Amino acid sequence: METKKTPKADLESKKRIFLQIGLAIALLGVLVAFEWRTYDRPVHDLGALDMEFIEEEDIPITRQELPPPPPPALSQELIIVQDDVEIDEEFIIDVEATTQTEIREFAPVVVQQEEAIDEEVIFIVVEEQATFPGGEEARLRFLQENLRYPHMAREAGIQGTVFITFVVERNGTITDVRILRGIGGGCDEEAIRVVREMPRWNPGRQRGQPVRVQFTMPIRFVLN
């Protein structure tokens, strides 16, 4: 039986196609070879160390001038001389005045007197404060015995503290009685009345002299 090739297995018919494909590939390789470009690669340099040499300057050596040493301290030692030692120098004290004696005038020493205190000045703080005769206990007892609770304030239930100010004169009398803060209801008037009836105080003193002193006193009104 004779063997026969199928038309699909016959390669003679496809010879031209393979030749054309080979020529096309060869032509493409030639074109790529001609069009290939090369570039210069940049050379990366890390750089060189640039050192600048500075000439050393010769500094002259100077000598520090030290201050002169302090003078030696004078000796405090006492030298005892025997009584029988003869002294060559003799001192003559001339107490008689002659025509050639120079007389100097000395200015007298003036003692400054203390500045007088103005009688019209009213002090608030003094060296010796003005006091009630008999002390603080006597003052409180005087207020307790002479103070009368006003009828109007008692009915209205008014109570509190009245602050009153006055001047203790140089002779101890009370003047210029005024209310600093009142509570009303007749309590302010009663406080003024009692203060004006006070006996003479012991006046305040400044540098040993009696002066006028401003005094502030609180008076409490409390209902039982």
For residue 152, what are the contacts with CB-CB under 8 A and spacing of at least 6?
Answer: 158, 185, 186
Q: What are the percentages of helix, strand and coil residues in the chain, rounded to 5?
A: 25, 15, 60
- Res. 51: pLDDT tops 80: no
Q: Which residues of 53-62 are buried (b: 16+ CB within 10 A; e: fewer)?
A: eeeeeeeeee
Average pLDDT, the chain: 76
Distance CA 130, CA 168 (A): 7
Domain that holds residue 159: 122-221
Joined tokens for residue 16: 């031209």
Q: Is residue 24 in some structural domain?
A: no
pLDDT (tens digit, 9 = 90+) per residue, 10-28? 666 677 788 888 888 988 8
Q: Is residue 112 in some structural domain?
A: no
Q: Is residue 51 in some structural domain?
A: no
Q: Is residue 165 in some structural domain?
A: yes
Q: Indicate which CATH number applies to the domain containing 205.
A: 3.30.1150.10
Q: Is residue 155 in some structural domain?
A: yes
H or E segment and range at residue 22? helix 15-35
The region of weakest confidence among 16-20, 132-136, 183-187, 212-216 is: 16-20
Q: Is residue 171 in some structural domain?
A: yes
SS3 40: coil
Q: Is residue 186 in some structural domain?
A: yes
Q: What is the pTM of this model?
A: 0.48
Q: Is residue 44 in some structural domain?
A: no
Name the domain count of the chain: 1
